[in-house]
Amino acid sequence: MYIHIGSDVVLRVEEIISFVYLDMEGDRKKNNEKILMKAAARGELFDLAAEAGRDGPGTLIVTVDNRVFISPFSIATLIRRCVNFELSEGLTISDG
């Protein structure tokens, strides 16, 4: 199953490792900056939020092949899309 993460990009749900709140002013700032800098250095950073014209915090999406996407969608929206996939496929939802 695929989910739309912004712009014209869709990912297979199975490819997604993590959703990370993109907080560039709070406690997570240093970690987020490291993730972004490393991904940009590898040429694996894709800023879909900027393409959508969004300024505020978005969501970092990390994939199994180390690509990093900045989605304009909230974590709640993205998780809801994944949960809907799991439920439609008869999978169980894990919280840990």
Q: How confident is the model at residue 92, as a pLDDT?
A: 47
Nearest to 82 by CA among 16, 21, 22: 16
15 and 63 in contact (C-beta within 8 Å)? yes
Nearest to 32 by CA among 60, 58, 8, 64: 60
Region 4-33: mean pLDDT is 87
How many Cβ atoms sit within 10 Å of the Cβ of residue 13?
Answer: 16
Tell me how far apart the alpha carbons of residues 47 and 1 are, in angstroms, rounded to a whole number. 22
Mean pLDDT of the chain: 83
Residue bearing the bigger pLDDT, 26 or 12: 12
pTM of the model: 0.80
- What H or E segment, with its residue span, contains residue 3? strand 2-6
